[in-house]
């Protein structure tokens, strides 16, 4: 029999609402799994007592009958960059080790209103600043598929928790691929919605926003279930206004779907990843999709992404770090120091380039419905890789981890387009490979429908 902790959120919801399983049983199963998998170090904080109390209350609602919230009794976790009322939110840093917010982030508040039960806060490098699943606060998070390989970052703990059955759904954040990268590394689903569709009011600059909150799960259906609960306008978000209505997905099918396949994006793609991705694209074409190769030199936009990342960290985290550098990772100190050297002109040039990249996407979307690529250029990197150094791909030094390993993910953070990573296969060593699918603004539901169909084809 499948253990309760391994059931999907969709199945758990059905069984809870049918009174086959109780929220108390489900929550206990997830908390037990968390206790069993402490070796993975996916959680900074586990709020077991709070979760049990919420599960008991949810059980009472089930027994009362009537219409129930869509996520009632479903345990979930939240990356420790997102505020949770009454539960500490550390930003993955010793600087905020005892920080307890008074209010939930928007996505958390909406998940709570839909009945989801928070079981804990998952690991992230400090302020999500680097592609490494480590921090002076919590140590290192391990990949449940292969502990010698990175689980990806910065939503490391969220991806690991979902992959290992420590909750069927999770909330991560994505500032350059930080939902989609660990999803690809851990063989799960990670979704970054259109800018503003899931409001993220913790950002100090909402007009120049490039960081997103989004759902992670083991199936596209579970991602969609959580997305439905947390998506929607918020008058406080300049991109989250009621006029920005999401398009439906009733007209979506792989048959006749116009697919732009970007095989490398200006970067070197490792042979096995290229082969797995190629086979996945062939299967999509076999279902009637109209696939054509296309090209955008994503890798050339690395300096643009780095300018915005470094300047943003210097402005946001710099004041908190100043005078307490000994408490944080050297990579964060170095990133802030570099960010402080950029001029206003350099930042303006980066935002101008962001506009050019957006227009490149829009030109492709005049001819295509979606853009498909590998999620990453190589399988999960070694666990101890220097996230600020260079990487080797097929025996070649390809430059920095950011530019050489995930050139397919940070462009959508700059342009605001929705994107999702789904499993597309495995290497000979058994490491997961992700397929990345991107759609036009506000075609989030269409993208999820397409991803669900591709998931069926590739499973």
Lowest-pLDDT range of 187-191, 240-244, 326-330, 411-415: 240-244
pLDDT of residue 2: 74
Confidence of residue 361 (pLDDT cuts 50, 70, 90): very high
Residues in the chain: 459
Averaged pLDDT score across all residues of the chain: 96
pTM of the model: 0.97
Question: pLDDT tens across 387-434, in order?
Answer: 999 999 999 999 999 999 999 999 999 999 999 999 999 999 999 999
Confidence of residue 94 (pLDDT cuts 50, 70, 90): very high
Here the tokens at position 129 are: 């600043």
Domains along the chain?
4-230 (3.90.1300.10)
Question: pLDDT tens across 124-167, in order?
Answer: 999 999 999 999 999 999 999 999 999 999 999 999 999 999 99
pLDDT of residue 244: 67
What is the 3 state secondary structure string of the chain?
Answer: CCCHHHCCHHHHHHHHHCCCCCHHHHHHHHHHHHHHCHHHCCEEEECHHHHHHHHHHHHHHHHHCCCCCCCCCCEEEEECCCCECCECCCCCCHHHCCCCCCCCCHHHHHHHHCCCEEEEEECCCHHHCCCCCEECCCEECCCCCCCCECCCCCCHHHHHHHHCCCCCEEEEEECCCCCHHHHHHHCCEEEECCCCCCCCCCCCCCCCCCCEEEEEECCHHHHHHHHHHHCCCCCCCCCCCCCCCCCCCCCCCCCCCEEEECCCCCCCCCHHHHHHHHHHHHHHHHCCCEEEECCCCHHHHHHHHHHHHHHHHHHHCHHHHCCCHHHCCHHHHHHHHHHCCCCHHHHHHHHHHHHHHHHHHHHHHCCCCEEEEECCCCCCCECCCCCCCEEEECCEEEEEHHHHHCCCCHHHHHHCCCEEEEEEEECCCCCEEEEEEECCCCCHHHHHHHHHHHHHHHC
Lowest-pLDDT range of 6-20, 22-36, 244-258, 316-330: 244-258
Percent of the chain whose pLDDT exceeds 90: 96
Is the CB of residue 94 less than 8 Å from the CB of residue 136? yes
Q: For residue 351, what are the CA distances in angstroms to 138, 174, 312, 321, 355?
A: 35, 19, 13, 26, 7
Lowest-pLDDT range of 243-252, 262-271, 432-441: 243-252
Q: For residue 288, what are the CA distances in angstroms to 169, 337, 408, 419, 457?
A: 31, 51, 25, 22, 12
pLDDT of residue 250: 66
The residues annotated with a catalytic role in the active site are: 79, 154, 178
């Amino acid at each position: 029999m499948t253990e309760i902790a391994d059931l999907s959120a969709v199945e758990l919801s059905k069984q809870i609402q049918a009174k086959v399983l109780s929220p108390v049983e489900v929550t206990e199963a997830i908390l037990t799994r968390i206790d069993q998998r402490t070796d993975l170090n996916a959680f900074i904080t586990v709020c077991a007592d709070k979760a049990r109390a919420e599960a008991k209350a949810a059980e009472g609602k089930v027994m009362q009958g009537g219409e129930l919230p869509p996520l009632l009794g479903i345990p979930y976790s939240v990356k420790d960059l997102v505020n949770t009322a009454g539960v500490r939110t550390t930003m993955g840093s010793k600087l905020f080790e005892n920080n307890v917010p008074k209010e939930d982030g928007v996505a958390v508040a909406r998940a709570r209103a839909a009945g989801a039960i928070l079981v804990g806060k998952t690991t992230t490098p400090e302020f999500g600043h680097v592609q490494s699943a480590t921090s002076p606060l919590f140590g290192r998070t391990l990949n449940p598929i292969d502990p010698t390989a990175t689980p990806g970052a910065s939503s490391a703990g969220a991806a690991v928790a979902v992959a290992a059955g420590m909750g069927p759904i999770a909330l991560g954040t994505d500032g350059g691929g930080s939902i989609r990268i660990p999803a690809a590394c851990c063989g799960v689903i990670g979704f970054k919605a259109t800018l503003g569709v899931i409001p993220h009011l913790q950002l100090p600059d909402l007009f120049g926003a490039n960081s997103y909150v989004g759902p992670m799960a083991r199936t596209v259906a579970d991602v969609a279930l959580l997305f439905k609960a947390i998506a929607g306008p918020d008058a406080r978000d300049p991109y989250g206004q009621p006029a920005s209505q999401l398009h439906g997905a009733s007209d979506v099918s792989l048959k006749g779907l116009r697919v732009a396949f970007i095989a490398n994006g200006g970067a070197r793609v490792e042979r096995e990843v290229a082969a797995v991705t190629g086979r996945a694209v062939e299967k999509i074409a076999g279902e009637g999709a109209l696939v054509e190769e296309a090209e955008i030199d994503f890798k050339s936009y690395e300096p643009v992404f780095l300018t915005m990342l470094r300047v943003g960290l210097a402005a946001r985290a710099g004041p908190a770090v100043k005078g307490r550098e000994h408490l944080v990772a050297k990579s964060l100190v170095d990133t802030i120091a570099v960010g402080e050297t950029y001029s206003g002109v350099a930042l303006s040039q980066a935002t101008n380039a962001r506009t050019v990249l957006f227009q490149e996407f829009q030109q492709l979307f005049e001819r295509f419905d979606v853009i498909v690529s590998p999620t990453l250029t190589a399988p999960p990197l070694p666990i101890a890789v220097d996230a600020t150094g260079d990487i080797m791909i097929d025996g070649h030094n390809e430059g920095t981890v950011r530019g050489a390993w995930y050139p397919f993910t940070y462009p959508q953070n700059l342009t605001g387009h929705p994107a999702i990573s789904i499993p597309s296969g495995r290497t000979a060593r058994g490491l997961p490979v992700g397929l990345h699918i991107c759609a036009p603004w506000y075609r989030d539901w269409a993208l999820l429908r397409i991803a669900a169909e591709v998931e069926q084809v590739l499973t």
